[in-house]
Amino acid sequence: MTGLTGKRIILGITGGIAAYKTAEWIRALRHEEAEVQVVQTEAAARFITPLTLAALSGRRVYGDIFSPEDAELIPHINLARHCDLLLIAPATANTIAKLAHGEADNLLTATALATRAPVLICPAMNSNMYLHPATQANLASLREYGCLIAPPAAGAMACGAEGPGRLPEWRKVREYIIAALTPQDLQGINILISAGPTYEDIDPVRFIGNRSSGKMGYALAGAARQRGAEVTLISGPSALPDPPAVTTVRVRSAREMAKFVQQKAPQARIIIKAAAVADYTPSAPSPHKIKKGAASLELKLTANEDILKSLGELKGEKPFPLLVGFAAESRDHLVQGLKKLKAKNLDLIVINDIGGSQSAFANDSNQVVIVNRQGKKTELPRLGKEETAHRILDQLLPLLPGP
């Protein structure tokens, strides 16, 4: 289950060369169990056939507003009523101009005018056409009318030109879709999240690390962003790409992580520490590679600062960000988690099982127990990390003090 499961999405395709890319989007949406209803303009049908789109979406494709086939259903009203989102992609300069002026001369523009669902527009065209003041003014009007605009990507286009105008990649559009479908209940709230492992250098070649992939912290950053938050992510070494529209700071060691978390903490209203911070670091890392030869080797370690605990100690009378910790446990989960909640003066703790084959580490799903300061315990089922992230944020909302 994801934020797209069961959502009814109308995909309105207009006549641009990028229309072919939306075939893959239909597959991606259906993979996440969204219902996709395609509405095509006449020009779009010249670029991609209704046959392809019907086969991929598993539904007939609507095109002609005057089709006698189901005239009694009044298709544009019927479509407009039964959707959670109208996604228009690629949106040509011509369709954008029509929408900005409230024209309803085809099934897609009529549906756009009739729907109360959010409308997400993905402009795609030659860069000169996109940057033309007329197109920019039309997009500004559409924004004013409440439409969401996913800005085009920049790069080489089919016409040979370079610049903004390409249809964005699916990963980015998906973020916009989820944000459009998600209540903006964290609008403008500054959230600081740490994620991933830390690497503690032994010498220039070796380090002490751990198995954290960063997936949970990145999922939290993405989910908070989807709900309108201003997110800063402090990430230890992770192979994951920066989440869209999130300020991401990459660090390596626990000490570096502490420095950035402490620097950003005063602006935050929520601090979530999903990082698996190393508890110890080599006391005297070698500037040169340690050579073999000795029969045994001892490594002296020094305790790192507990970043979360230090933050918890700063809590006093005046307003302080909500503090959320994670507890990675392989046994006595609840007891250990509650100990950390108290010892680190947290508002909420997310207790994770890191033992066995279902370990939360590096997995796409996890099963967590959330406990708040008042002792309220919420056990979540095994879920994808994006869904788990949203459920954690749901638990945080009621704890947020007023602005």
Closest approach, Cβ 272 to ligand CTP, in A, equals 8
Three-state DSSP at 374 gives: coil
C-beta closer to ligand CTP: residue 39 or 276: 276
Q: What is the largest CA-CA distance in the chain?
A: 87
- Compute the radius of gyration of the chain from its Cα atoms: 25
Closest approach, Cβ 27 to ligand CTP, in A, equals 37
Residue spans of alpha helices (H) in 67-187: 75-81, 93-100, 107-114, 127-131, 133-144, 170-181
d(CA 46, CA 54): 15
Among 366, 334, 349, 345, smallest CA distance to 212 is for: 366
Integer CA distances (angstroms), 106 to 98, 120, 147, 309, 360, in order: 10, 18, 19, 61, 50
C-beta closer to ligand CTP: residue 61 or 261: 261
C-beta closer to ligand CTP: residue 340 or 390: 340
- Residues 278 to 307 in contact with ligand CTP, rule: CB under 6 A: 279, 304, 306-307
C-beta closer to ligand CTP: residue 37 or 304: 304
In the shown chain, the binding pattern of residues 66 to 95 toward ligand CTP, with x for contact by CB under 6 A and - for none, equals ------------------------------
Among 36, 84, 81, smallest CA distance to 62 is for: 36
Question: To the nearest 10°, the Cα dihedral for 244, 246, 250, 256?
Answer: -170
Amino acid 71 reads A
Query: How many chain residues bind ligand CTP (CB under 6 A)?
Result: 15
- Residues 146 to 165 in contact with ligand CTP, rule: CB under 6 A: none
Closest approach, Cβ 261 to ligand CTP, in A, equals 8
Among 98, 225, 269, 340, binds ligand CTP (CB under 6 A): 340
In the shown chain, the binding pattern of residues 238 to 277 toward ligand CTP, with x for contact by CB under 6 A and - for none, equals ----------------x------------------x-xxx
Closest approach, Cβ 136 to ligand CTP, in A, equals 44
Closest approach, Cβ 121 to ligand CTP, in A, equals 40
- How are the residues of the chain apportioned to helix, strand and coil, as percentages rounded to the nearest 5? 35, 25, 40
Closest approach, Cβ 227 to ligand CTP, in A, equals 21
Question: CB within 8 A of 166, min separation 6: which ones?
Answer: 18, 124, 152, 153, 154, 155, 157
Residue matched to tokens 């209540």: 183
d(CA 14, CA 8): 19
Closest approach, Cβ 375 to ligand CTP, in A, equals 19
Integer CA distances (angstroms), 12 to 9, 22, 95, 199, in order: 9, 10, 10, 47
**Quick one: three-class SS letters along 284-311?**
CCCCCCCCCCCCCCCCCEEECCCHHHHH
Integer CA distances (angstroms), 373 to 56, 206, 325, 361, in order: 48, 40, 12, 25
What φ, ψ does residue 164 adopt, rounded to 5°?
-75, 140
Is residue 147 annotated as a catalytic residue, yes or no? no
In the shown chain, the binding pattern of residues 317 to 336 toward ligand CTP, with x for contact by CB under 6 A and - for none, equals --------xxxx--------
Closest approach, Cβ 219 to ligand CTP, in A, equals 15
Contact residues for ligand CTP, defined by CB under 6 A = 254, 273, 275-277, 279, 304, 306-308, 325-328, 340
Q: Give catalytic residue positions.
A: 159
